[in-house]
Amino acid sequence: MLSKLKIAFCATALAGMMLYSPAMAGSRIKDIVDVEGVRTNQLIGYGIVVGLSGTGDTVRNSPMLKQSLESMMERMGVNVRDANLNTKNAAAVMVTGELTPFGASGSRIDVTVSAMGDAKSLLGGTLLVTPLLGADGEAYAVAQGTVQTGSVSAGGASGSSVTKGVPTAGRIASGGTIERETAFNFNSMPFLRLTLHNPDFATARRIADAITRQYPGTAIAENPSIVAIKPPAGMTMMDFMTLVEPMNVDVDTPAKVVIDEVNGVIVMGENVRISRVAIAQGNLTIRVDEQPGVSQPLPFSQGQTTVVPSSNVSVDEEKGKQLIQLGGGSSLSDLVAGLNALGVTPRDMIAILQSIKAAGALQADIEVM
């Protein structure tokens, strides 16, 4: 019941916000587009975490750890090639991070550390210096520091254990140092392309119109995804972008209904419309009761006591459900009000929406997650 009331309230509130929010509020251009070249770059590296309290890799099961320890110790002047390494205080890990846009040499980034072998936990371990490589194979950052997993694990002598979180993966806050910057000169670009998060013909045209309204001849919508801009004479690209990003644009969204069947969540867009349709919803319950009886023979009749099956079948149909009719062009609020009037559960609401779509009366796309 609580779930039904919650989804009904959320849907009604959503409809009210869409109906009564000012149309001219719009969205800032910086919130609905990505700027060409301004992006993160994925980094990856292989390293060793040491200082674990017996929760690291088993050397015989992790040949990469054995080879890494031998190579590292040789670089430090210690020969352990023929030694029987049997430490559980180290683990082979993969280190990942993101090179931020315009990241300057010496600035810090967060890195994620994940175990590769049979280590049980990385909690409290220290990642040794690990180069982080880009897609071109060049090292752009170096990571090192103490790993924090944010997990808890405990075990008993009988073998029982409990674990909360993932102890074999953790993060090092500001554990990476950028060593190389990406060669990207923003101000030298003669023109720039803005990429819409949600491609749309109308939105792309509105962005171009908003820019050219204040700076004629500086923007053109190439397609639903791309708006090309160039700075006016005597203005750098950096200065022009600081003026373009705060501009407000009305975003046009397609009519779509998103359904999460697992969690029973329904999200409907503002432009969802319903053609003339009638909706009825009810529950039919069939109950079968088995009450076996006992047949007792008369005295001295030479009969036998037997069990006689007795079945009682009843059909109950929920009353009080009315046929709800929606007129042509009904809006989101009309649809929500009609479904709430039926008193349907989230699961039934999902089935009703899919049935309306199958009947051709729902003028929107349905996306099931």
CB of 45 closer than 8 Å to CB of 131 = yes
What pLDDT does residue 262 have?
Answer: 78
Q: Which of 143, 49, 129, 128 is nearest to 98 (CA)?
A: 143
Contact 19, 241 (CB under 8 A): no
Tell me how crowded residue 181 is: count the other CB atoms within 10 A of its CB: 14
Cα 227 from Cα 201, distance rounded (Å): 11
CA 19 from centroid of its chain's CA atoms: 28
Distance of CA 325 to the CA centre of its chain: 37
CB 113 within 8 A of CB 170: yes
CA–CA separation, 79 and 77 (whole Å): 7
Residue type at position 83: A
Question: Would you give the distance in Å from CA 292 to the centre of its chain?
Answer: 55
E-strand stretches of 105-206: 108-115, 126-133, 139-146, 152-155, 161-164, 169-178, 192-196
The SS3 call for residue 86 is coil
As a whole number of angstroms, the distance between CA 227 and CA 205 comes to: 8
Beta bridge partners of 148: 171
pLDDT at residue number 214: 94
Determine contact, residues 122/167, Cβ cutoff 8 Å: yes
**Nearest to 255, CA basis, from 241, 240, 243, 272:** 272
Are the CB atoms for 224 and 196 separated by under 8 Å?
A: yes
Q: Walk along the chain (369 residues) in steps of 10 and give the mean pLDDT of each run.
A: 43 43 68 90 96 89 87 87 81 95 92 94 94 94 94 67 83 95 84 93 95 95 95 92 94 86 79 76 56 70 70 56 58 68 72 82 83
**CA dihedral for 59, 60, 62, 66, sign (positive or negative):** positive
The pTM for the full model equals 0.67
SS3 state of residue 105: coil
| Domain ranges, ordered by start, for the chain | 27-37+185-249, 41-149+165-178, 256-284+316-368
For residue range 287-297, list pLDDT tens digits in order.
555 566 767 77
One CATH from 3.30.1910, 3.40.50, 3.30.1360, 3.30.70 for 27-37+185-249: 3.30.1360
If one counts every other C-beta atom within 10 angstroms of the C-beta of residue 330, the result is 20
pLDDT at res. 283: 59
Q: Residue 34 pairs with which residues in a beta bridge?
A: 195
| Closest by Cα among 209, 220, 129 to 175 | 129
- Per-residue pLDDT of 188-200, as tens digits, reads 888 999 999 999 9
pLDDT of residue 9: 40
What span, in angstroms and rounded, lies between the C-alpha atoms of 18 and 270?
6
pLDDT of residue 76: 87
Give me the pLDDT at residue 5, please: 40
pLDDT of residue 281: 64
Helix, strand, or coil (residue 2) = helix
Distance CA 111, CA 147 (A): 10
- 329 burial class (0-12, 13-18, 19+ CB within 10 angstroms)? exposed
The CA distances from residue 212 to 11, 105, 205, 208, in Å, are 38, 37, 11, 6
Tokens of 244: 């373009």
